[in-house]
Amino acid sequence: MFRFLIGRLALLVPTFLGVTIVAFGFIRLLPGDPVLLLAGERGITEERYNQLMEQFGFSRPIWEQYFDYLVGLLQGDLGTSIVTKKPVVTEFFTLFPATAELALCAIILAVAIGIPAGIFAAVKRGSFFDQTIMGTALIGYSMPIFWWGLLLIILFSGILQWTPVSGRISLMFFFPQPTGFMLIDSLLSGQKGAFASAARHLILPAIVLATIPLAVIARQTRSAMLEVLGEDYVRTARAKGLTPFRVVGMHALRNALIPVITTIGLQVGVLLAGAILTETIFSWPGIGKWMVDSIARRDYPVVQGGLLMIAAIVMVVNLTVDLLYGLVNPRIRHN
Amino acid sequence: MIIRRTMKIALMGVSLAMFAVSAASAKTLVYCSEGSPEGFDTALYTAGTTFDASSKPVYNRLVEFKRGTTEVIPGLAESWSVSEDGLEYTFNLRKGVKFHSVDGFAPTRDFNADDVIYSFGRQLDKDHAWHSYTAGASWEYFNGMSMPDLLKEIVKVDDYTVKFVLNRPEAPMLANLAMDFASVLSAEYADTLEADGKMEMMNQVPVGTGPFQFVGYQKDAVIRYQAFADYWGGKQPIDNLIFAITTDASVRLQKLKAGECHVAPYPAPADIADIKADANLTLMEQEGLNVGYLAYNTQMAPFDNPKVRKALNMAINKQAILDAVFQGAGQAAKNPIPPTMWSYNKAIEDDAFDPEAAKKMLEEAGVTDLKMKIWAMPVQRPYNPNARRMAEVIQADFAKVGVEVEIVSYEWGEYLKRSKETDRDGAVLLGWTGDNGDPDNFLAVLLGCDGVGGSNRAQWCHQPFEDLIQKAKTIADKGERTKLYEEAQVIFKEQAPWATIAHSVVFMPMSTKVSGYVMDPLGGHWFDGVDIAE
């Protein structure tokens, strides 16, 4: 297990280095640069343009900029935003809790509904329920997030007025946020109604963000369960007279969960990508919206720093998933 | 470290709790702003969204624009005088003006000349301790308005008198000083931050003399302000002002309808009818101080011939563009300045839409089988909400007079860069929104000889026009300047370096509970004097 862990960690180093090259190169491949966008229609003299490019360090050879970037990284410095003039690390950790809270709620929702739905569809294979669940999953998977979000807002916030339109909490509540997680901070604040308000604000964005992962998890669970339910040991268990609940819940599900866990792990990347649109619709102050704005402004340090941090999170989550296999299925122990 | 952090959170908690208590029992106006401010030190930025959140609620300037107009009125300067040669502007400062207090800073003195010297000195003087106080600090508006070339020195005559000495006469100088970059900051606050080694806080926690004092900013989510009790302009009708950052126009409208905000700018054109039909909403509208145009490259054949440009202008059906692109929220432009600007020449007649005559004129000019490019901007702007669509309409119009158009577009930064090149091919769609309400800000910037290869996208340098606008710049008398600009517009129309397309109409939806809101022709959003019914 230890050797496996070391091996995986060692593999992370070249992967991480690769990500730095992609993150650094990607934004520079796009036409335009931050100084031109800063000037806008007003324009800028060539002299001033050159001055600013030099001030931001963009006039130096690209390899030199990359090398400096790597040196900064080793010291934990992701650079400073050209626009807000704040360190990228500070901005990231200010916004990340909002994204993490939303993504966590979305994945919990997706797993809590997706796995039982998949199991049910597999057990009742070919039935009306199976067709309905899988049909709904397909629609969910194909749903344009922006349109879906607006639709829910118009229905639940506009017409029915059950949920707030956007934001993380009612503007009436104002308290320190030591953790950045609104559900926790609202509880810590002790203000009456704050937690309920934060929870109500989470409902629609969590549903929207969970839609695609839920569909994928439900479909994956169904197909994994169908495969396992056809195995000899399941037939044996049934022959032994075990209750259907024990056969499905204890014997089949545990083995079927392995590909499902892989899928859940991979959904973290999907969630972070989905967060970009969800955060924009629901005015959710997270890293997705931050990245989109920064790409539009060609804020090089933010884009490369943000990409790197997101990639690091995805890598860590996937490593954790690999380690979890062993817990779920003793046959996959990394000796 | 932990103790300090805990204490900081506890202190913050107390101030936040005070705000929350007051918010619960006080009048709070919520503005659904369209984006996040880049920072709170206004002079570092050029975006209107940043100005709305910083200079307008928090700061004042020596002179201000009278709300709803571009007329310059006293601000922190009670009065001023201009020397006969137009080179010296002496300002008499208002006494008894208080600065805001924030965590870690309580002002010990009132506003005085030192604050003016500090606010401009840091932008002008490269050796000033605050010139590069934060990473990548640049003073782009100050530079863009040519202030470094214009300002010779700023002199403190006494505590309440400041003199600006110029290198050359500049009639729009007063209007320039009413702009956002000319906001006055506290020199005492700067000294405190410098002594504490926290200079970057100037861009994060602003201290000004304005109607609202900054309370807190939760990045990309909410900005909170409180009415400043000691504001020299008097107490505000509302107690709290909140900016709820909501980037999507449809979501802003839903929030407005749900009562989650009271004012929401920049509605989607498709929602206008819906807003008008809602009994709980008011829709204010105003002609924008802008112009959208198609600039020919007047240095390249056949566009170097005014007859060709005139003929092409006559081929454009502006009404079709207003219907298809502006969806009725615009008016046809005949001059390079908008009708709300002083010196607008009403007497000028627009080129008639006459494809037959246009075709004939092109033949007379020896232009047949013309193929040209039209550049369509990749972004939305108030003066052009859909450049691609506009280009398509013009493409169809030009086809009727035998001109074949290829539509091209580039990424925005590239577009701006390439469209400046003097050997650029074809005609460029672009536009301009006024900075200070002065005609010079349109005519000299967009059509002056200095702008060729830069902001003058027509690459048009016509000496009779240039002489008029340069002369107008040096004259203080508004009546005389008006005559010169009117004459310049006549020359512009004859020479036709652009096809002037449209001036947009700006809409501002708000709750019927809101009163006292005045739309700003310069596009800013101000909340002093605004009230909300409980």
> What is the tens place of the pLDDT at every residue in B269-278?
889 999 999 9
Q: What chain A residue is nearest to B432 in terms of C-alpha separation?
A: A41
Same domain, A161 and A290: yes
How many Cα atoms within 13 Å fall on the side-chain side of residue B30?
21
Same domain, A62 and A93: no
Degrees to nearest 5, angle at CA A20 with A14 and A23: 140
CA distance B510 to B275: 9
Report CA-CA distances (Å) from B244 to A172, A177, B33, B261, B364.
12, 17, 6, 8, 59
Q: How many Cβ pairs within 8 Å bridge chains A and B?
A: 153
Partnered with residue A222 across adjacent β-strands are: none
Give the model's pLDDT for residue B9: 47
Q: Is A85–B39 a contact, with Cβ atoms under 8 angstroms apart?
A: yes
Which candidate, A210, A204, A208, A219, places its Cα nearest to that of A107? A210
User: B13 vs A164: CB contact, 8 Å cut-off?
Assistant: no
Asked whether residue A161 falls in the same domain as residue A267, the answer is yes
A174: which chain B residues are within 8 Å (Cβ-Cβ)?
Answer: 16, 19-20, 23, 216, 224
| pLDDT band, very low/low/confident/very high, at B2 (cuts 50, 70, 90) | very low
Q: Which H or E run contains B442?
A: helix B440-447
Q: CA–CA separation, B519 vs B468, rounded Å? A: 32
Min Cα separation A309/chain B (Å): 18
How many other β-carbons are positioned within 10 Å of the β-carbon of residue A191? 17
Q: How far is A268 from chain B (nearest CA, A)?
A: 23
Nearest neighbour of A158 by CB, restricted to B144, B257, B451? B257
For residue B52, give the H/E element and its range: helix B48-53
Q: Is B257 close to A30, i.e. CB distance below 8 A? A: no
Whichever domain contains A168, its CATH number is: 1.10.3720.10
CB pair distance less than 8 Å for A176 and B200: no
β-bridge mates for residue B360, sequence order: none
User: Are residues A64 and A109 located together in one domain of the fold?
Assistant: no
On whether residue A167 sits in a domain, the answer given is: yes
Bridge partners of B461, per DSSP, are none
Tens of pLDDT, residue by residue over B29-60, are 999 999 899 899 999 988 889 999 999 999 99
| Residues of chain B found within 8 Å of residue A36, distances taken between Cβ atoms | 413-414, 416-417
Nearest in space to B185 (alpha carbons), one of B223, B157, B165, B214:
B214
pLDDT band at residue B6 under the 50/70/90 scheme = very low
* Interacting residues of B62 by C-beta distance below 8 A, sequence separation 6+: B75, B76, B77, B80, B91, B93, B116, B162, B177, B178, B182, B184
Task: Give the gap in angstroms from C-alpha A296 to the nearest C-alpha of chain B.
Answer: 10
Alpha helices (H) in B345-439, listed in sequence order: 355-364, 387-400, 412-418
DSSP B348: P
Q: State the Cα–Cα distance between residues A121 and A214, nearest whole angstrom.
A: 14
Min Cα–Cα distance to chain A from B257, Å? 7
Contact call for residues B58 and B212 (beta carbons, < 8 A): yes
B13 contacts A176? CB cut-off 8 A: yes
φ, ψ at B417 (rounded to 5°): -70, -50
Q: How is residue B106 annotated by DSSP? A: -
The kind and range of the H/E element at B63 are: strand B63-65
- Could B416 and A41 be called an inter-chain contact, meaning their C-beta atoms sit closer than 8 Å? yes
Query: Alpha helices, DSSP H only, in chain A?
Result: 2-29, 34-39, 46-55, 62-74, 88-123, 128-142, 145-152, 182-189, 194-229, 232-239, 244-246, 253-281, 287-296, 300-328
A190 lies in the same domain as A263: yes
Interchain CB distance below 8 Å, A171 and B28 = yes
| Cβ-contact A170, A186 below 8 angstroms | no
- Are residue A35 and residue A102 in the same domain, yes or no? no
Q: What is the DSSP code (8-state) at residue A255?
A: H
Contact A177, A149 (CB under 8 A): no
Task: Give the DSSP letter of residue B116.
Answer: H
**What is the pLDDT, as a whole number, of residue B4?**
47
User: In whole angstroms, what is the distance from residue B49 CA to residue B37 CA?
Assistant: 6
H helix or E strand, kind and range, residue B24: helix B2-25
At B18 the pLDDT is 47
Residues from chain B that touch A39, judged by Cβ atoms under 8 A, are 46, 140, 144, 416
Task: Kindly determine whether residue B411 and residue A31, on different chains, have CB atoms separated by under 8 Å.
Answer: yes
Instruction: Compare CB distances from A178 to B9, B36, B245 and report the shortest one's residue.
Output: B9
Residues of A whose CB is below 8 A from B137: 85
Q: Are B32 and B256 in contact (CB under 8 A)?
A: yes
CA distance A57 to chain B (A): 10
pLDDT at position B10 is: 46
Q: How many structural domains are present in chain A?
A: 2
For helices A128-142 and A88-123, the axis angle rounded to 10 degrees is: 160
- A69, A132: one domain: no
**Amino acid letter, B506:** V
Residue A29 forms part of a structural domain: yes
Of B187, B227, B214, B201, the closest CA to residue B101 belongs to B214
A56 plus A104 within the same structural domain: no
Q: Which residues of chain B lie closer than 8 angstroms to A191, CB-CB?
A: 20
In terms of domains, do A230 and A316 share one?
A: yes
Element (H, E) at B16: helix B2-25
Q: Is B364 exposed, middle or buried (0-12, 13-18, 19+ CB in 10 A)?
A: exposed
Look at residue A101 in the predicted model and tell me its pLDDT: 94
Q: For residue B116, give both structure tokens.
A: 């003016």
Q: Chain B partners of A58 at a C-beta cutoff of 8 Å?
A: none
**How far apart are alpha carbons B395 and B317 in whole angstroms?**
11
3-state secondary structure of B4: helix
- State the average pLDDT for chain B: 91
Higher pLDDT, B335 or A247: B335
Q: How far apart are CA B198 and CA B192, in angstroms?
A: 8
HSE-CB for B324 with a 13 A CA cutoff: 16
CA atoms of A217 and A259, how far apart (whole Å): 10
- Three-state helix/strand/coil letters over B298-343: CCCCCCCCHHHHHHHHHHCCHHHHHHHCCCCCEEECCCCCCCCCCC
The pLDDT score that the predictor gives to residue A50 is 85
Contacts of B245 (CB under 8 A, 6+ apart): A283, A285, B32, B33, B35, B36, B220, B221, B222, B223
The answer to whether residue A335 sits within a structural domain is no
Residue A334 within a domain: no
Tell whether A312 is covered by a domain.
yes
DSSP SS3 for B405: strand
Question: Is A45 contained in some domain?
Answer: yes
CA–CA separation, B532 and B513 (whole Å): 5
d(Cα A207, Cα B60) in Å, to the nearest integer? Answer: 45
Contacts by A49-55, CB closer than 8 A, 24 or more apart:
A52/B138, A55/B136, A55/B138
Q: B501: pLDDT confidence band, cut at 50, 70 and 90?
A: very high
Calculate how close chain A gets to B241, using CA atoms only, in Å. Answer: 11
- Asked if residue B422 lies in contact with residue B328, where contact means CB atoms within 8 angstroms, the answer is no
pLDDT tens over chain A, length 335 residues: 677 778 878 888 888 889 899 888 888 887 778 887 777 777 777 777 888 888 888 888 889 989 988 998 888 888 889 888 889 999 999 999 999 999 999 999 999 999 999 999 998 888 888 898 889 888 888 888 889 999 999 999 989 999 999 999 999 898 988 999 999 999 999 999 999 999 999 999 999 999 999 999 999 999 999 998 888 888 888 888 888 888 888 788 888 888 888 888 888 878 887 788 899 889 899 998 898 888 888 899 999 999 899 888 888 888 888 777 767 666 665 54
In this predicted structure, what is the pLDDT of residue B358? 96
Chain A residues in contact with B199 (beta carbon < 8 A): none
Interchain CB distance below 8 Å, B251 and A281: yes
B224 strand-pairing partners: B216, B242
Residues B428/B294, Cβ–Cβ less than 8 Å: yes
**Residue B254: which of A36, A86, A153 has the nearest Cβ?**
A153
Cis check: omega of the bond before A34, within 30 degrees of 0: no
Determine the distance in angstroms separating the CA of B206 from the nearest CA of chain A, rounded to an integer. 14
A7 lies in the same domain as A110: no
Last residue of a domain, one of A43, A74, A105: A74
Choose the mutation target among B21, B138, B142 for the interface with A, i.e. most A CBs under 10 Å.
B138
Q: Is the pLDDT of residue B392 over 90?
A: yes
Is B358:B370 a contact under the CB 8 Å cutoff? no
**A37 interaction partners in chain B (CB closer than 8 Å):** 412-413
Q: The domain containing residue A283 runs over which residues?
A: 88-328
Residues A321 and A209 in one domain: yes
CB within 8 Å of B430: residues ≥ 6 apart: A41, B292, B293, B295, B377, B384, B419, B457
The pLDDT value given to residue A332:
64
Contact list in A for residue B30 (CB cut-off 8 A) is 171
A56–chain B nearest CA distance, Å: 6
**Looking at the domain assignment, is residue A79 inside a domain?**
no
Q: Is B408 helix (H, G, I), strand (E, B) or coil?
A: strand
- Looking at the fold, whether A39 and A180 belong to one and the same domain comes out as no
Nearest to A43 among B216, B222, B455 (CB): B455
Q: What are phi and psi of B214, to 5 degrees?
A: -70, 135
**Which one-letter amino acid corresponds to residue A175?**
F
Nearest to A298 among B20, B260, B413 (CB): B413
Outline where A247-299 has alpha helix (H).
253-281, 287-296
How far is A100 from chain B, CA to nearest CA, in Å?
16
CB A194 within 8 A of CB A165: no
pLDDT digits (tens, 9 = 90+) for B257-270: 999 999 999 998 88
d(CA A284, CA B218): 11
Residue A101, phi then psi, degrees to nearest 5 = -60, -45
How does residue B19 score in pLDDT terms, banded at 50, 70 and 90?
low
A291 within some domain: yes
Q: Where are the alpha helices (DSSP H) in A124-181?
A: 128-142, 145-152
Q: Would you say B42 and B214 are in contact if contact means Cβ atoms under 8 Å apart? A: no
CB–CB contact A32 B247 (8 Å): no
